Structure 1
Amino acid sequence: MSLRQLLVLGSALLLAACAPLKPQEKPAEKRYSAAELLALQPAQFTWPATSTEGERALREAALADIRARIALPPGPERDAALPRLFDLVAQYNAELDAARPLLLEALPTLGQRDAETQRALLTAAHTLYPAEAAPLIWPLLPQLTASKPFAIAAYTLLQTEPGAAERLHAIVPQQFPTWADDARLTALVLRLRPSAAAQPPLPALLAAPLRPGFPVIVSLQRPGRQQMGLALVRAADGRFVRDAANRLFTSPQLALARTGLPGTITNGNTPQGVFTVVGAGTATNPNIGPTPYLHSKLPVEAKVAEFEHAELADTAEWSEAVYDSFLPESWRAWAPIKEAWLAGRAGRDELLVHGTTINPAYYTGSSYFPGTPQQGCLISNEDWDPATGRLLASRQLALAQTYAAASLRPDLAGYLIVVELPGEGAVQPAEAQKLVDAAGR
């Protein structure tokens, strides 16, 4: 792909979600067998936007877009421009002060907007301006009749105001009498009244068979996702992958979304829990780039038969009991590990395991540096040649190839577990080694 072609694509897709484009919007993407994936080398991949020239051109285009949107006079055109404006501001960490008044001016009018506009602007409030937005959100709550915008508003209040949980706990059942039937509100209520129960032993989860004979990626993440996590690979024989010196394979991985919202919310963090893996492919999203992703799916997003990798009728129905069957008994009552189940019920999808073409320098000074958060996928860093845009090293490719070698399955079918590990700082290999040793794997 030439630089010119990439810039055209980038301008159209700069804010695409983690998913590849829909089939009607692009040619069929490349899919990989295990053998094809294992044969790849980093030097085979180039992405012009990762070169100094390409990145500068995309950033300048994005900044010009931001400033043009900020300069629009009040009216329908500016209103329509706001969702993309704040996505760009968050991605490039630019023009935050100039954009702030537009959001604060728009928030009181959200009661008259559609639910998608509410979602977008409340997400911006949560991501960029929570303290300033909070006083404007309380009077807005009764006007938010859709559960997604309401939940985003509630999470914003929770991160800024002590005592908000008690007030919100009284509001939810009054405003949404059937809240227990809504996955987003169920997750919110669990946040408002967290269980005092201790997390079950992690070694039991690491040793759980899920379904025998399938490989598993285990992504260990910190609560709050503000630190780099660590991915491990358990082979089809149930043993965790080690190198020739018997050192555990570990690879840094980020499960933080730019929004910082919970996993049941669009563009929120990667939810905790069990996913199925159904293959590998190359996305056309410019922020993901050409390195093959592993195609993970949530419950409900994948039908039961696909999730099970089994010859089942497509009419087999999902239930919490089906999801629980993938967990060891000691974990089945632990609500946080059900987040993936709730996220699937809430309609989240296309949360992939992928690399990144975003420059980590945008997030210098952050607690998760050199991670590059996007919209809820699991992201591994990659090193690109600033002169040529050629891939020099890829933790994503190394992870995908380790998984492929451990699978013994040409279709790459397997599973993914995302689970939080209490502690401070980036998850360390020594911590993972201790858990794997305790699991006897």
Structure 2
Amino acid sequence: MAERSRGPGRRRRFAALATVALLAPGVAACGGDDGGVPVINVYYSTEQSFQKLVDDCNQQAQGRYRMVYQVLPRAADEQRVQMVRRLAAEDDGMDVLGLDVTWTAEFASAKWIREWTGAAKDEASRGTLQQPLESATYEGKLFAAPKNTNTQLLWYRSDLVPNPPKTWDEMIQMSQDLKSQGKPYEIDTMGAQYEGLVVLYNNMVASAGGKILNDDGNKVEFDQGAVDALGTLQKFASSGVTNPSFTNTQEDAARLQFQGGSGAFQLNYPFVWPALQEGAPDLKDKVKWARYPGIDAGTPSKVTIGGFNLAVSTYSKHPEEAFEAALCLRSPEHQLFSAVNDGVPPTVESVYDDPQMDEAYPFKDDILAQLKDGSNRPVTPAYQNLSTVLSATLSPPADIRPEQDAEQLRGSIQDALESKGVLP
């Protein structure tokens, strides 16, 4: 978020492609095949230029199948609810599904999506970064092909901060020093009661070496690292370094706060970079980037990954063609196109070496480094319930009581795990 911590898409670089995206059919026929040619309905939402990929793959298919792009709502929760309801009804009009990285366990455990095996699995795994691949895996089996990924970076004003902080404590102290000097000082990031707050907290938990759930995802662990992260979040929120609207801030609001000139630091996704080039000419040459802050100076941060994976519905009438279509949509060349035009980082490592990435992603080395040792959110079929419980307890962050809230969360999260996790 967040729309699952994946961040909003990059502003379009070419007006013509934007026009194609706007004209893409929102609802195409979900019914039968087209004159004997299998129709593969693809449900997806996050990329404005996705129709271009569909058209390209249809041409490559040479009549073996024809994909139709079914545009899902922008909001992640609305996407999930629409798919869950139709899959629960065993709707055979759904073929390829764009799943947020947190949905794999739920959809797989409900047997709504097919396991990837054989040559399709080999192709989906080849060269794919480990963390995105793990986000598509449940109980040791691959259930989706990673299409794109994401990670937040630290964006900072180099005219105010010559050397970026490596830890939260260091960043908070720098911000307070700037504030005392009457300079822009805010640390702008997401603090509203939604998935973005869960991601912020999970970044701190993972960076502290903590765990919210056990490795099997069926029992609360909530160890000392998770408790320490509660303390870090509370300290950040109560140190006088956030924007006054912190508890209502989501991704784009954080971007606008920073672009407005009051921020010295911003923790956000790469979409902020092209937006900065277009919308803040006075700031664009002053802003640099660095690795997300950690907890201990000697231990690099572990940042939560976002992104979307492509799954094949259990009820698809044409699974063989659906797997082929999904592989085409997430091919290295199409991941490169999506990265350059829509600002969604690739999951195939070799794409980062392409010269086209140099201009679109001058920070690509930092993104790749964070992705290689990043963190996934807790893996459980009941993730939606877990996220709801966490965000409610964490909000507002300044009121967190680490030990008391940890004890409460151990009980409420276990209750969430024992629910069905189908609809929150």
Please indicate the TM-score interval, normalised by the length of the shorter structure: 0.3 to 0.5
TM normalised by structure 2 equals: 0.33
Higher relative contact order (CA 8 A, sep 6+): 2
* TM-score (ref. length: structure 1): 0.32
